[in-house]
C-alpha cells in the first residue's frame, strides 16, 4: 500500500489522464473506447495500468466460481470505473464502493466521459481513507 502522499500524486495523474482522453476523444463514444484510450494514456505516462482486471469473488471466505471485472487498475492501487452514460445512476457509486471494499483498495474514480466538461464527470470515491 502506498503512503497517502504518493497515492494522491498518483490520483492527480489519473485525473489528468482522464482530462487528456476527453480532450482528445470528446464525449459520445462507447465506454470500451474510453477504457482502451485511458489505459494507453496512463501507460504513456509510465504508469502500470491494466484493463479488465478480473478479481475473484469470495463469500464467507469461500472462493466462488464467479469473479468481477475492474475497468482499469492503476499501479495496483487505484480503481477506475469508466462510464459513458447520459445519466449517472446511484448504482454506479455502489458498484465502485463494492469494488473498493472487495479488493481492500483505498481509492477509486468513477469517470463518466459522456459529459461536455470532464470535470463534471469525475467522482473520487474513498474507502476507509
Q: Tens digit of pLDDT for each residue in 76-127?
A: 999 999 999 999 999 999 999 999 999 999 999 999 999 999 999 999 999 9
Q: 33-43 burial, b if ≥16 CB within 10 A, otherwise e?
A: ebbebbbebbe
40 or 67: which leads in pLDDT: 40
Q: What is the pLDDT of residue 119?
A: 97
Which of these ranges, 34-38, 40-44, 125-129, has the smallest mean pLDDT?
125-129
What is the pLDDT, as a whole number, of residue 128? 78
Residue 2 in this model has a pLDDT that exceeds 90: no
Q: How many CB atoms lie within 10 A of CB 129?
A: 11
> Which grid coordinates belong to 98?
463494492
* pLDDT above 70: percentage of residues in the chain: 98
Q: Report, in angstroms and rounded to the nearest whole number, the Rg of the chain calculated over CA atoms.
A: 14
- Position 5 scores a pLDDT of 84
| Mean pLDDT, residues 27-47 taken together | 98
At 61 the three-state DSSP class reads coil
Whether domain 4-126 has CATH 3.40.1350: the reply is yes
For 27-40, what is the mean pLDDT? 98
Reading the block at residue 35, the C-alpha cell is 477504457
Distances, alpha carbon 63 to alpha carbons 22, 67, 92, in Å:
38, 9, 24
How many whole angstroms separate alpha carbon 97 and alpha carbon 108? 8
Half-sphere exposure of 96 toward its Cβ, with a 13 Å CA cutoff?
Answer: 27
Domain coordinates in residue numbering, the chain = 4-126
> Could you give the C-alpha distances from 38 to 5, 18, 30, 111, in angstroms and in order?
23, 7, 13, 11
Which pTM does this prediction carry? Answer: 0.93
Amino acid at each position: 500500500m502506498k503512503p497517502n502522499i504518493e497515492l494522491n500524486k498518483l490520483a492527480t495523474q489519473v485525473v489528468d489522464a482522464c482530462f487528456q482522453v476527453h480532450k482528445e476523444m470528446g464525449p459520445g463514444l462507447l465506454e470500451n473506447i474510453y477504457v482502451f484510450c485511458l489505459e494507453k494514456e496512463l501507460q504513456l505516462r509510465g504508469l502500470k495500468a491494466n484493463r479488465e482486471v478480473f478479481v475473484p469473488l469470495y463469500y464467507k471466505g469461500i472462493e466462488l466460481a464467479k469473479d468481477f471485472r475492474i475497468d482499469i487498475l492503476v499501479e495496483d492501487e487505484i480503481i477506475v470505473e469508466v462510464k459513458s452514460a447520459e445519466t449517472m445512476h446511484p448504482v454506479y457509486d455502489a458498484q465502485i464502493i463494492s469494488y473498493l471494499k472487495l479488493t481492500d483498495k483505498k481509492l477509486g474514480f468513477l469517470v463518466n466521459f459522456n459529459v461536455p466538461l470532464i470535470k463534471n464527470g469525475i467522482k473520487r470515491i474513498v474507502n476507509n481513507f
